[in-house]
Chain A
Amino acid sequence: MKRIAVIVRATHPDRVSEALRAAVGLSLRGDRVHVVLAAAARAACDEEPHRARAARALATLRMLGHDVIDGDSSAEADAVRTADAIEVWT
């Protein structure tokens, strides 16, 4: 089982939505996904009409037991340090 870090630094809601869709997708083969949302990405999640879709992706990840946190560069560094694979979405 791999540990995959998905760092979401994107600010455009469409990009954030795609990053979260990718994060959900990355969980499909049994790997552990750790999502870190930068402040701007979190704000983008709350923008309409993206709010429901983002909320669903975040809820799915949590329901499946994956970590989703709102984090700063320190949280990003922690996620990266323990990851086998990393995707940084900008």
Chain B
Amino acid sequence: MSTRRLALVVTTAPERGDLARALALARAARAADIEVGMFIMDQAVAGLPAARAHTAALAALDCDLVACASSAHARGLGEADVGMLLGSQDDHAALVHAADRVVAFT
């Protein structure tokens, strides 16, 4: 059976709770042996510093996690702050292009 791949895109403000939902969905997908990639941009990157323990756990489960560098830098955040690789909209495009399913919290 070919590997299934889930893309998660999160852009909403932390108070919406979507980042937590996406992280939970990612954990469930990994438990079902589904490959997971996440791209976080715009207001959602502000929630990443507080979520570093959760994102580190997902990285340990081989999830590909990328935050938008433009969004992070606009908020004074660096790679150490967000706890994941800083990338670009090309990473967003690559993630969506390669996915079998996309869940966007936008």
List residues of chain A with CB under 8 Å of any chain B CB: 2, 4, 15, 18-19, 21-22, 24-31, 85-90
Instruction: Tell me which residues across on chain B come within 8 A of A21, comparing CB atoms.
Output: 70, 89
Instruction: List CB contacts (< 8 Å) of B64-81 with chain A.
Output: 70-71
Chain B residue with the shortest CB-CB distance to A4: B96
How many chain B residues touch the partner (CB < 8 A)?
A: 21
Contacts of B33-77 to chain A: CB distance below 8 A: 41-43, 70-71
Residue pair B11, A22 in contact (C-beta under 8 Å): yes
Task: Indicate if the CB atoms of A28 and B104 lie closer than 8 Å.
Answer: no
Our pick among B43, B90, B104, B106 for the contact of A25 (Cβ within 8 Å) is B90
Q: CB of B92 within 8 A of chain A?
A: yes
**Chain B positions 84 through 103: 1 when the CB is less than 8 Å from some CB of chain A, otherwise 0:** 00001110111011010010
- Contact, CB under 8 Å: A87 / B106: yes
**Given contacts A22-B41, A86-B104, A88-B106, are A28 and B96 in contact (CB under 8 A)?**
no
Residues of B within 8 A of A (CB): 7, 9, 11-12, 41-43, 70-71, 88-90, 92-94, 96-97, 99, 102, 104, 106
B42 A18 Cβ-Cβ under 8 A:
yes
A29 to B90, CA, bound (A): 7
16 residue pairs A–B, Cβ–Cβ below 8 Å: A2-B96, A18-B41, A22-B41, A22-B42, A26-B92, A28-B93, A29-B94, A29-B97, A31-B97, A85-B7, A85-B99, A87-B9, A87-B102, A87-B104, A89-B11, A90-B106
- Whether A27 lies near B106 (C-beta < 8 A) is no
